[in-house]
């Protein structure tokens, strides 16, 4: 996956205790702002929540909020980063990231499905906001993450040499977003998310390995 394994899976999903006291304090404030923002987005919606609301609830100055998150949409970027880091860390801990590409991609989507199902209300609110305000469909980071798995598998001879990993990663990411959006549009959902994502992976895998 690299980029130093996505900064060591976002310091194992921001339980980071590295650095000096000043850096730890900065991380604590950033985490508090993030958790407060997510809480408010769920309570009153992304659009209605202001940076002042976040600062007031977190009991910090308005300038502190902007120092850590210059734009409100950066909370959405952080939300996506933490989710990807959590799934990547789970893959690594279970030694699934070194398996054949079909196992890697199916496991990745299964873990994402479990995360979304566990936090359904959060997914419904923040995914729609991310698509509208965070540019998640324009060069999505998820596409890069998946492309790196495919690129590594290609070097091992598991993926056809003619496949463009970046294009394949983008196709998988776009399929993920489309499936997740459809799943979140109805309450209760009209289909099983895990099954739908893995069926999509199977279809794309045929083009990667055949």
77 and 49 fall within a common domain: no
Q: What pLDDT does residue 7 have? A: 40
CATH of the domain at 155: 1.10.357.10
| Same domain, yes or no: 37 and 117 | no
pLDDT of 209 over the 90 cut? no
Last residue of a domain, one of 15, 41, 68: 68
- How many degrees, rounded to 5, is the angle at CA 195 between CA 191 and CA 198? 135
Q: How many CA atoms lie within 13 A of 205 on its CB side?
A: 16
- The pLDDT assigned to 207 comes to 81
The stretch 172-192 carries a mean pLDDT of 92
Domain C-terminal end among 41, 68, 95? 68
Same domain, 86 and 186: yes
34 in the same domain as 7: yes
Tell me the pLDDT band of 181, cut-offs 50, 70 and 90.
very high
Which comes out higher in pLDDT, residue 13 or 209? 209
Query: 7 and 54 share a domain?
Result: yes
pLDDT band at residue 171 using 50, 70 and 90 as cut-offs: very high
Res. 5: pLDDT tops 50:
no
Q: Which of 43-47, 97-101, 127-131 has the highest mean pLDDT?
A: 43-47
Whether residues 125 and 175 fall in one domain: yes
Last residue of a domain, which of 42, 68, 94? 68
Q: How many independent structural domains does the chain possess?
A: 2
**Residues 84, 55 share a domain:** no
Identify whether residues 85 and 152 lie together within a single domain: yes
Whichever domain contains 63, its CATH number is: 1.10.10.60
Domain coverage including residue 38: 3-68
> Does residue 134 carry a pLDDT above 90?
no
Average pLDDT over residues 66-84: 95
The yes-or-no verdict on residue 17 having pLDDT over 90 is: no
What's the 3-state SS for the chain? CCHHHHHHHHHHHHCCCCCCHHHHHHHHHHHHHHHHHHHHHHHHCCCCCCHHHHHHHHCCCHHHHHHHCCCCHHHHHHHHHHHHHHHHHHHHHCCCCCCCHHHHHHHHHHHHHHHHHHCHHHHHHHHHHHHHHCCCCCCCHHHHHHHHHHHHHHHCCCCCCCCCHHHHHHHHHHHHHHHHHHHHCCCCCCCCHHHHHHHHHHHHHHHHHC
pLDDT for residue 210: 67
């Amino acid at each position: 996956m690299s980029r130093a394994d996505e900064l060591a899976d976002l310091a194992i999903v921001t339980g980071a205790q590295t650095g000096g006291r000043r850096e730890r304090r900065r991380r604590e404030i950033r985490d508090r702002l993030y958790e407060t923002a997510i809480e408010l987005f769920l309570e009153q919606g992304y659009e209605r929540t202001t940076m002042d609301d976040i600062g007031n609830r977190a009991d910090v100055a308005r300038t502190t909020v902007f120092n850590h998150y210059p734009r409100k949409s950066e909370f959405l970027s952080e939300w996506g980063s933490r989710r990807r880091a959590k799934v990547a860390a789970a893959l690594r801990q279970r030694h699934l990231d070194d398996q054949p590409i079909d196992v890697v991609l199916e496991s990745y989507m299964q873990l994402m499905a479990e995360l979304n199902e566990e936090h359904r209300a959060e997914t419904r609110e923040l995914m729609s906001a991310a698509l509208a305000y965070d540019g998640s469909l324009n060069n999505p980071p998820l596409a890069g993450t998946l492309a790196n798995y495919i690129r590594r598998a290609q070097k091992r001879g598991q993926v056809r040499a003619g496949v463009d990993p970046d294009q394949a990663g983008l196709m998988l990411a776009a399929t993920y977003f489309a499936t997740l959006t459809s799943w979140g549009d109805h309450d209760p959902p009209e289909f099983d998310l895990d099954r739908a994502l893995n069926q999509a992976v199977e279809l794309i895998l045929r083009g990667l390995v055949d």
